[in-house]
Amino acid sequence: MNITVLKKDEQVHGEFNAGAILERKPLGFPQDHGALTPYGNLFYWAHAWSSTGGMIGEHPHRGFEILSFILSGNTHHYDSKLNGWKELNAGDVQIIRAGRGISHAERVEAGASLFQIWFDPGLERTMGDDATYNDHRASDFPVLKDADGTTTVYVGEGSPLALRTEPLSVKRVSYNDGVHELTTDGHFSAFILGGELSIDGHQLTVGDFFRVSGAGSTSVTTHGADVFIIQSPDKLPYRTYRELMRG
């Protein structure tokens, strides 16, 4: 197994509207030259926020499945299929299946924060599809309780979110304090939203990120830890964008 840790100040920094919207990217675009490059079906992961409010103007997407997870506050979204604006609030999730093409714009209101995460569904399979999107409200997602803590399932059993990207698990876990075992046979990627977590001698807090890759298990120790987790495979039944660009 391999463990990669990116503290928040080691992530790629970005901004929109002269700093009205700020972002840190555990996994940026290739041109960002960050520490991580796309792996498995995970292509891009940005944490964005605004203290004043700001706009990301209309821009196009193709092929990818793009999910926005609203962490706090509210945002507004426009796209060329809807031809209008829709509001998203804390806990809501939007999926854009970009297909052969769609354009959209986003307005991040003061005090709002979100993840925007791009998944690679195999562009050879999706570039000919019609673009679609869905908005899901916070109350749509199952919440489970077990020995580890309380889990909100965004992608997985019981969730209404439907993706062509496969296979994939996305969840948010509010861990009980103590020691927990993590098991993976691909990639376990995690962003700390609250509290503290330690893994492999690293002490992580809000804004930090880690990835566990390979087959096996390891343990984490948590104290008030609120963690956003994506579990994804290393090998896929289709060629990724990165593989296509390599020829």
Task: Please give the average per-residue pLDDT across 90-99, as a whole number.
Answer: 96
Read off the pLDDT of residues 2-61 as tens digits, 9 standing for 90 and up: 999 999 999 999 999 889 999 999 999 989 999 999 999 999 999 999 999 999 999 999
> What is the percentage of the chain residues whose pLDDT exceeds 70?
100
pLDDT in tens, 172-187: 999 999 999 999 999 9
Mean pLDDT over the full length of the chain? 95
Determine which of 34-38, 49-53, 153-157, 164-168 has the lowest per-residue pLDDT on average.
Answer: 164-168
Give me the pLDDT at residue 110, please. Answer: 97
- State how far Cα 202 lies from the chain centre: 22
189: pLDDT strictly greater than 70: yes
In one-letter notation, the amino acid at residue 122 is G
Average pLDDT (58-86) is 92
What amino acid occupies position 55? M
Confidence at residue 225, expressed as pLDDT on a 0 to 100 scale: 98
CB 8 within 8 A of CB 208: yes
Instruction: Please give the pLDDT value at position 10.
Output: 97
Please state the pTM of the whole predicted model: 0.96
Domains of the chain with bracketed CATH: 2-246 (2.60.120.10)
Burial class (CB in 10 A: 0-12, 13-18, 19+), 218: middle
Structure confidence at residue 84 as a pLDDT band (50, 70, 90): confident
Provide the pLDDT for residue 166: 80
Q: What is the pLDDT of residue 181?
A: 95
Does residue 193 contact residue 225 with C-beta atoms inside 8 Å?
Answer: no
Q: Taking a C-beta distance cutoff of 8 angstroms, is the pair 163, 65 a contact?
A: yes
Contact status, residue 67 vs residue 93, Cβ threshold 8 Å? yes
In this structure, what DSSP letter does residue 31 have? Answer: G
pLDDT of residue 247: 67
